[in-house]
């Protein structure tokens, strides 16, 4: 009698979902002048294959664990004097798992991203709100540099 042992399988995959970018623009009033900030968000999907394929007569425990991260690029400008860029990332904005192989699930992830677009937009707006203080500090630094010069 032959005995087959199946080892657990863990494979990680990562890719960007080609969904439309999430964008936002805002103007922040500042003594140095209005600050224009433009934000562009993009999603990144990571998938991890876990479990084992079931042999003849055995149940498969394969499942695909996935998470969607959000990266946001910001470009801010105060008049002609200051241009500042910043990159921000929030990991695991959305997470989940589904039975089977990750290669079979890849096509469904873009549908999940579209269905949960409001959640992703809310996460981006929270990042924008946190970035406001950083922009003001950058503008104050530029303003102080101009006074010294």
Give the pLDDT confidence score for residue 5 in this predicted structure. 38
Flag whether 144 is in a domain.
yes
**Number of structural domains, the chain?**
1
Flag whether 58 is in a domain.
yes
What does pTM read for this prediction? 0.76
The H or E element spanning position 104 is: helix 102-115
Give the pLDDT confidence score for residue 107 in this predicted structure. 61
Flag whether 45 is in a domain.
yes
Residue 31: which domain range?
Answer: 11-148
Spans of the chain, pLDDT less than 70: 1-20, 81, 105-107, 146-147, 149
Flag whether 2 is in a domain.
no
Residues 6+ apart with CB under 8 A from 134: 86
Looking only at the bridges linking them, the beta strands covering 82-99 and 11-16 are unpaired
Flag whether 91 is in a domain.
yes
Flag whether 27 is in a domain.
yes
Answer yes or no: are the C-beta atoms of 38 and 74 closer than 8 Å: yes
Distance between start and end Cα atoms, the chain: 86
Flag whether 4 is in a domain.
no
Flag whether 1 is in a domain.
no
Spatial separation of the C-alpha atoms in residues 70 and 112, rounded to whole Å: 14
Give the pLDDT confidence score for residue 104 in this predicted structure. 76
Q: Convert the pLDDT of each residue in 5-41 to its tens digit.
A: 334 444 455 555 545 579 999 999 988 789 999 999 9
Closest CA to 32 of 149, 137, 129, 109: 137
């Amino acid at each position: 009698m032959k005995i087959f042992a199946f080892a657990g399988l863990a494979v990680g995959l990562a890719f960007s979902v080609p969904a439309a970018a999430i964008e936002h623009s805002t103007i922040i009033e500042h003594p140095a002048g209005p600050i224009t900030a433009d934000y562009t968000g993009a999603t990144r999907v990571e998938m991890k294959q876990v479990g084992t394929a079931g042999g003849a007569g055995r149940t498969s425990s394969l499942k695909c664990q996935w998470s969607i991260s959000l990266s946001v690029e910001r470009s801010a400008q105060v008049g002609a004097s200051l241009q500042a860029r910043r990159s921000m990332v929030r990991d695991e904005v959305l997470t989940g798992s589904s039975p089977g192989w990750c290669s079979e699930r890849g096509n469904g992830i873009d549908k999940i991203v579209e269905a949960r677009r409001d959640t992703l937009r809310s996460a981006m707006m929270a990042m924008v709100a946190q970035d406001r203080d950083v922009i003001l500090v950058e503008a104050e630094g530029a303003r102080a540099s101009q006074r010294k010069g």
